[in-house]
Chains A and B, each alone.
Chain A
Amino acid sequence: MNIKRLQSFFRKEFRHILRDRRTLLILFGMPLAQVLLFGFVLSNEIKNTNIAVLDQAKDAESIALTNKLVSSGYFRIAHTLESARDLEPAFRSGKVKMAFVFSPGFGHQLAHEGVAPLQIISDASDPNTATTLLQYAQAIVQDYQLALAAGQMAGRATIQVQTRMQYNPEQKAVFTFVPGVITLILMLVSAMMTSITIAREKELGTMEVLLVSPLQPLEIILGKTSPYLLLSLVSTVVVILVSMGIFGMPIRGSLLLLAMECILYTFVALSLGILISTRAKDQMTAMFMSALGLLMPTMLLSGFIFPRESMPWALQVIGMAIPATWFNPIVKGVMIKGVGLEVLWLETVVLAGMALFFLVLSLRNFKDKLE
């Protein structure tokens, strides 16, 4: 290992990165865009959802409940319907996400029989949003019911069921997405960019010249990967700062632990990138291999977007082999729950094992490919 030789190499690598606008965009533009998109789009959608109301009762109780729904801030009446036939067109046009149907004599039934039907119809073409909205609506209805019961039957003991969303009471989507975006960025930058940049040297023929030079294979790998390690960590800090500043995302746990875990995960990603680059002979192949082999599974199977619990067992097993599956709970744990290694030791050990395994495998592969 020769520090001076490495220095010249680092300088060259940074120049490549800084002179390529596309690389800079992927390094810094994409992560920012992702956090802002996930944060704003998902949190706005939950507020002021357009609803339709078909009030066939028009009595004090149905109007009171409707007002309560609107005053919650979650819902906004976009349509006041006159007949059940208008329901279908309202949904189909996409103008409303949810409809509330009060049957005739709603208040009367409630007062005299104690039970009154209220139909809530939601547009489940977007199931995640539908479920969330339904939960809000149910909570509001229940609230109303309790207030009603308290007024009518004062003094009688009622069991109050209280639900609370632990750690993320407002259910801010950005809280669940920031950790996901971090796993995605580190994988994208470290693995994909590394594999592309090494494949590029192969494609252009400069790799041959480097291999004929006194540079050791390990020095070449270090020279190619360290700048990306540094930049991906910078990018992660930017994402975390933005999510703290704009969305009020907390870091409840140890900052040092978070940083160490990010570095550990980056090592896994870097070695995967090197592994891909030993197989891919040009930049295109490297890009497709990392997009299909790393990014897609990270997005789809790691629990970033879709909950792992609801996947078929075969996919859950495959998900176990994906580094992000182990890294995601770590980021969430440290940032949102504020827990430390006493809880996250298993995930950390698995990640460390993966880092070691892929690092050895990729180094060996890199040397073999020279032959």
Chain B
Amino acid sequence: MHNDIISVQKLTKKFGAFTAVDAISFGVQRGEIFGFLGANGAGKTTALKMLTGLLTPTSGVATVAGYDVIRYPDRVKQRIGYMSQRFSLYEDLTVRENIRLYGGIYGLPKAEIREKSAQMLSKLELKAQADTLVGSLPLGWRQKLAFTVALVHDPGVVFLDEPTSGVDPLTRRQFWDLIYEAAHQGVTLMVTTHYMDEAEYCDRVSIMVDGRIEVLDTPRQVKTQLGVQTMDEAFRVLARPQTAIS
């Protein structure tokens, strides 16, 4: 699978005797929206941390955006974006300052940062609020801004760790419009979520149970395979009670 922008083979992470991620293998294509599901403690956060270079795998191979995460973590970091489940912008900085900060951290030239800021502000219709502290924006706007800022350096892959937790349904819908738009432009998105309706929006989903990928297919195929009507049911069939309790 040469064309995969994320390619994972037998990726494993052990903490002492506990195996958090147990030899998972999968590939994600360019421009794909890949849902990464699983109950709390199933190992998806650990897997995500290995792919973003925060954790060193115990064994296995993973390449992201063309580079081996173990051998070239710095090159991988330059080519990925990340949005955590907690708010990833600084609330005591203004909208413009946040964009400038992340542009600077990713080493963009000043002129490009200026150009990008203008683009983003008009796209999000935040021009009037450019010099407002991010902390005083409504949560929905903040999340949309955080996603846009994660794209400031044109990353090939963006990891979204529960990006919509605590956001109202309407804003979630708008947020997914942004995700679709990015995917349309060729950005690969790896999304973890607790909302099963969001799982339906993904091109493909994987469900992790006890450190292993139990199922990996399009949402429609997953449902047929398990003989259920919704992703919610599929999730409940797979995630056994002892792992569902977190």
Chain A residues within CB distance 8 Å of chain B: 2, 4-5, 7-9, 11-12, 15-16, 19-20, 204-206, 208-215, 370-371
Contact = CB atoms under 8 A, between A and B. Distances in A.
Given A8-B104, A8-B105, A209 B92 contact: no
Contact of A212 (B56, B80, B87, B101): B80
Given A5-B104, A19-B92, A214-B107, 6 more contacts: A7-B104, A12-B90, A15-B97, A16-B93, A210-B105, A212-B77
A214 B100 contact: no
Interface of B: 52-56, 74, 77-78, 80, 82-93, 97, 100-107, 159
Chain A interface mostly: helix
A15 B105 CA distance: 16
Contacts of A2: 107
28 contacts: A4-B104, A4-B107, A7-B104, A8-B101, A8-B105, A9-B101, A12-B93, A12-B101, A15-B92, A204-B86, A205-B84, A205-B86, A205-B87, A206-B89, A206-B90, A208-B84, A208-B88, A210-B105, A212-B52, A212-B82, A213-B82, A213-B106, A214-B74, A214-B78, A214-B105, A214-B106, A214-B107, A370-B54
Given A205-B86, A212-B80, A371-B56, A12 B107 contact: no
Contacts of A205: 84-88
Nearest to B104: A8
A66 B107 CA distance: 79
B92 A16 contact: yes
A16 B77 contact: no
A2 B86 CA distance: 27
A8 B83 CA distance: 20
A151 to B, nearest CB: 75
Nearest to B75: A214
Contacts of B74: 214
Contacts of A370: 54
Contacts of B105: 5, 8-9, 210, 213-215
Contact of A206 (B54, B85, B88, B103): B88
Contacts of B103: 8
Contacts of B107: 2, 4-5, 214
A5 B83 CA distance: 20
A209 B82 contact: yes
A125 to B, nearest CB: 47
